[in-house]
Chains A and B, each alone.
Chain A
Amino acid sequence: MAKTNTAGPGPDNVLEQASAWREAGQDVALATVVSTWGSAPRRPGAQLAVTAAGDMAGSVSGGCIEGAVIAEAREVMEEGEPKLLEFGVTNDQAWEVGLACGGRIEVFVERFD
């Protein structure tokens, strides 16, 4: 009987997915939440991996900044230089994605080699 417990539950396998894409020859960028102010759906450390083809795993927000992060991620993939992004979320936008108090999110985007 195998007695080693397997990796924990939950959606926290972004790195494994990103690595699988990379091994398959795709260009991949990794975005990580660095800090948040106010109400934010994802905590620091949360990650989103994206490929040049547009595949995604994980998330860095409730959806409101993913589009912008993906656009920046494409640049990072091409140029190789990491970026530190900061997003302000207005209260109007925030309401749409469940950030009831608004807030700011800082996201680090790097190429995943």
Chain B
Amino acid sequence: MERATREQLLADRAAGRPVVLATALDNGEQRLLHRDEGAAPFAEAAAATLRFDRAETREIDGRRWLFNPWNPPLRLYIVGAVHIAQSLAPLAAHTEFNVTVIDPRRTFATAARFPGVALDTAWPDEALATYTLDSRSAVVTLTHDPKLDDPALAAALESEAFYIGALGSRRTHAGRRERLAGQGFGEDRINRIHAPVGFSIGARGPAEIAISILAEAISVLRTGQ
């Protein structure tokens, strides 16, 4: 690896920029690929390896190349320091998500209820605006309160977050859809919200609901659905 390549790769990693190192296996020629850069077969391979976070070899013009992706860390923003969040935060942290719990209600967002978890008591949309909300980020709203959930969902819908989930019944979600449509969000965008949140596993209680949410987020991350 040439010095310039190494320095750029390390700079990208330090800055949290997704990057793919393409290496020609016949002579070691290397290219660093960022999103939406490079000629079609390279850009496509780079996008695929970043999306699924998995190195792979591809043959391009008769040469075999290894595409090795470096993605920024996974992040989960939980809006609502509620009972389910008390299970979801540690489960997600164990699954190597960088977890932040956001809730302006200080009686909920306490260190005693969330030991070792990053807490933010700013208003959800204001809080989210200060964090990295990229294609490796997930947002889950759990407050049941439109005053808190809706601004967070709007911020998430404006981002590239790979997973957006909202707690609440189908009827609650129908009302939410109307409110977001009223704010100018089109149907395609609103459809990015997974609601009712989580896989249907017959979950009973906060811990099982947390597992169903995390399972759905991981499934979307790894398989796209």
Interface of A toward B, CB cutoff 8 Å? 3-10, 15-16, 19, 22, 30, 32-35, 43-45, 81-82, 84, 108, 110-113
Chain A residues whose CB sits within 8 angstroms of the CB of B10 once the complex forms: 15-16, 19
Asked if B96 and A10 sit within 8 Å, CB to CB, the answer is yes
Chain B residues whose CB sits within 8 angstroms of the CB of A30 once the complex forms: 1
Asked if B13 and A15 sit within 8 Å, CB to CB, the answer is yes
Chain B residues whose CB sits within 8 angstroms of the CB of A112 once the complex forms: 1, 6
B66 at the interface (CB under 8 A from A): yes
Asked if B55 and A110 sit within 8 Å, CB to CB, the answer is no
Asked if B73 and A5 sit within 8 Å, CB to CB, the answer is yes
- 8 Å CB contact of B72 from A8, A35, A45: A8
Asked if B74 and A32 sit within 8 Å, CB to CB, the answer is no
Chain B residues whose CB sits within 8 angstroms of the CB of A43 once the complex forms: 54-55
* Number of A-B contacts defined by CB within 8 Å: 71
Chain A residues whose CB sits within 8 angstroms of the CB of B2 once the complex forms: 113
Selected interface stretch from B20-28, B142-150, B162-170, B185-193: B20-28
Asked if A7 and B57 sit within 8 Å, CB to CB, the answer is no
Interface of B toward A, CB cutoff 8 Å? 1-3, 6, 9-10, 13-14, 16, 23, 25, 27-28, 54-57, 66, 68-69, 72-75, 96, 98, 130-132
Q: Tell whether A108 pairs with B66 under 8 Å between CB atoms, given A4-B132, A5-B75, A44-B57.
A: yes
Measured between C-beta atoms, what is the minimum distance from A29 to chain B in Å? 10
The contact sample of 7 A-B pairs, CB cut-off 8 A, is: A4-B16, A8-B98, A15-B10, A32-B23, A44-B55, A110-B1, A113-B3
Question: How many Å lie between the Cα of A32 and that of B96 in the bound state?
Answer: 23
Question: How many Å lie between the Cα of A34 and that of B65 in the bound state?
Answer: 9
Most-contacted residue by chain A among B16, B66, B98 (CB, 10 A): B66
Question: How many Å lie between the Cα of A7 and that of B54 in the bound state?
Answer: 18
Question: How many Å lie between the Cα of A107 and that of B51 in the bound state?
Answer: 23
Chain A residues whose CB sits within 8 angstroms of the CB of B23 once the complex forms: 32, 108, 110
B14 to A, closest residue via Cβ = A7
Most-contacted residue by chain B among A9, A10, A43, A82 (CB, 10 A): A82
A84 to B, closest residue via Cβ = B25
Question: How many Å lie between the Cα of A82 and that of B28 in the bound state?
Answer: 6
Asked if B73 and A9 sit within 8 Å, CB to CB, the answer is yes
A16 to B, closest residue via Cβ = B10
Measured between C-beta atoms, what is the minimum distance from A62 to chain B in Å? 18
Question: How many Å lie between the Cα of A22 and that of B3 in the bound state?
Answer: 10
Measured between C-beta atoms, what is the minimum distance from A25 to chain B in Å? 13
Asked if A110 and B28 sit within 8 Å, CB to CB, the answer is yes
Question: How many Å lie between the Cα of A113 and that of B1 in the bound state?
Answer: 6
8 extra interface residue pairs, beta carbon distance < 8 Å, beyond A7-B14, A112-B6 = A7-B73, A10-B96, A19-B6, A34-B25, A45-B55, A45-B68, A82-B27, A108-B23
Measured between C-beta atoms, what is the minimum distance from B159 to chain A in Å? 15
Chain A residues whose CB sits within 8 angstroms of the CB of B13 once the complex forms: 7, 15-16
Chain A residues whose CB sits within 8 angstroms of the CB of B56 once the complex forms: 44
Question: How many Å lie between the Cα of A33 and that of B132 in the bound state?
Answer: 31
Q: Tell whether A34 pairs with B14 under 8 Å between CB atoms, given A112-B1, A113-B1, A113-B2.
A: no
